[in-house]
Amino acid sequence: MAGELRVHRRPELTRPVLVAAFRGWNDGAQAASLAAGYLAKTWEAERFADVDPEDFFDFQAARPHVSLEDGITRRIDWPETAFYRARPDGLDRDVVLLLGIEPNLRWRTFTELVMGLVRELGVEMMITLGALLADVPHTRPSPVTGSASDPELVRQLGLSSSRYEGPTGIVGVLHDACKRAEIPSASLWAAVPHYVSLTPSPRAAVALCERLGSLIGVEVDVDELEEAARSYEEQVSEAVASDEDTASYVEELERRVDELEEQTDLPSGDALAAELTRFLREREEDDDGGDAAREQ
């Protein structure tokens, strides 16, 4: 197992947070991997370790790519999982970026490798990036939902508790491993338009980068992604306009989003606090009643 994780050098880190993104099942419209790759470029991240792909990929499913260097030399690029170290400007801690492809094989062994390095580096928190297909228009900002399984992290970061049940990907397995290792972890998911799922979404990548920045306390320069998002919107809009049914569908999605944004009759903070207090009191009374019934 030691040979499967190849550490080229061991960086000295300060209170590191791990940010992970995987291409594949967890990466609708490649938004998560695009965001993570952009962060690595913007933060001038330095690669320090990788995982040997030999025992974790079915190369018929995740085929290596052949490319030419200087139009002459052939080079084979294998599926990879790599670790990078970055220290963003204005942040008093290090960020470890984990970029890769969701493995095909031996997920538990793969997770043990990652968690072993996480413990060795002293990682204090893990945040995964993901993207899912949804009924959202390409002309509006991508909504991002955040969740965590640790109650304290939910409170500190203003996230929601994870209540998902169903099939999971490698990020779900990593979160489970973090929970067992008592390492706080959070998950950010951007919604991307399902009708352009094969087109990389820089708009969703912008949303993920900005939400991540707010979580770890650093402002991410997304100007380059914003420019790509404007071009993305123009190209998709042109394609959508060529099909009347799709254009009508997108207009309906836009109408729904605009109606939600225009709602102004939202309850005040005091009203929400009072409602929450009432809910908790009623739940406590119900629990007491249920306990009494079980004891009889």
Contact 126, 18 (CB under 8 A): yes
Radius of gyration for the alpha carbons in the chain, expressed in angstroms and rounded: 22
* Model confidence band, residue 152 (pLDDT cutoffs 50, 70, 90): confident
Average pLDDT estimate for 3-32? 94
The mean pLDDT value for 114-137 works out to 95
For residues 217-225, give the mean pLDDT. 94
Mean predicted confidence (pLDDT) in 1-26: 91
pLDDT for 288 equals 55
Exposed, middle or buried by CB within 10 Å (0-12, 13-18, 19+), for 225? buried
What's the pLDDT at 286? 56
Confidence at residue 273, expressed as pLDDT on a 0 to 100 scale: 45
- In the structure encoding, which two tokens stand for residue 121, read together? 């580096």
The mean pLDDT value for 3-10 works out to 92
Q: Determine the pLDDT at residue 189.
A: 95
For residue 109, the tally of other CB atoms under 10 A from its CB is 14
Q: d(Cα 255, Cα 100) in Å, to the nearest integer? A: 37
Residue 23 reports pLDDT greater than 70: yes
Q: Are 129 and 188 in contact (CB under 8 A)?
A: yes
Q: 236-287: per-residue pLDDT in tens?
A: 999 999 989 999 999 999 998 888 776 544 444 444 444 444 444 555 565 5
Of 217, 212, 154, nearest in space to 185 by CA: 154
C-alpha span between 134 and 191 (Å, rounded)? 6
pLDDT for residue 271:
44
Q: What is the pLDDT of residues 44-71, one digit of tens each?
A: 999 999 999 999 999 998 899 998 877 7
- Give the model's pLDDT for residue 150: 79
The arithmetic mean of pLDDT across residues 75-83, rounded, is: 92
Q: pLDDT band at residue 2, thresholds of 50, 70 and 90?
A: low
Give the mean pLDDT of the chain. Answer: 87
Q: Which long-range contacts (CB under 8 A, 24 or more apart) does 151-154 make?
A: 152/184, 153/125, 153/184, 153/185, 153/186
- Taking 90 as the threshold, does the pLDDT of residue 162 lie above it? no
Cβ neighbours, 10 Å, residue 193: 25
Q: Are 105 and 66 in contact (CB under 8 A)?
A: no
Does the pLDDT at position 176 exceed 50?
yes
Q: Give the chain as a 3 state SS string.
A: CHHHEEECCCCCCCCCEEEEEEECCCEHHHHHHHHHHHHHHHCCCEEEEEECHHHCCCCCCCCCEEEEECCCEEEEECCCEEEEEECCCCCCCCEEEEEEECCCCCHHHHHHHHHHHHHHHCCCEEEEEEEEEECCCCCCCCCEEEEECCHHHHHHHCCEECCCCCCCCHHHHHHHHHHHCCCCEEEEEEEEEHHHCCCCCHHHHHHHHHHHHHHHCCCCCCHHHHHHHHHHHHHHHHHHHCCHHHHHHHHHHHHHHHHHHHCCCCCCHHHHHHHHHHHHHHHHHHHHHHHHHHHC
Helices 170-180, 107-121: axis angle to 10 degrees equals 50
How do beta strands 144-148 and 95-101 pair? unpaired
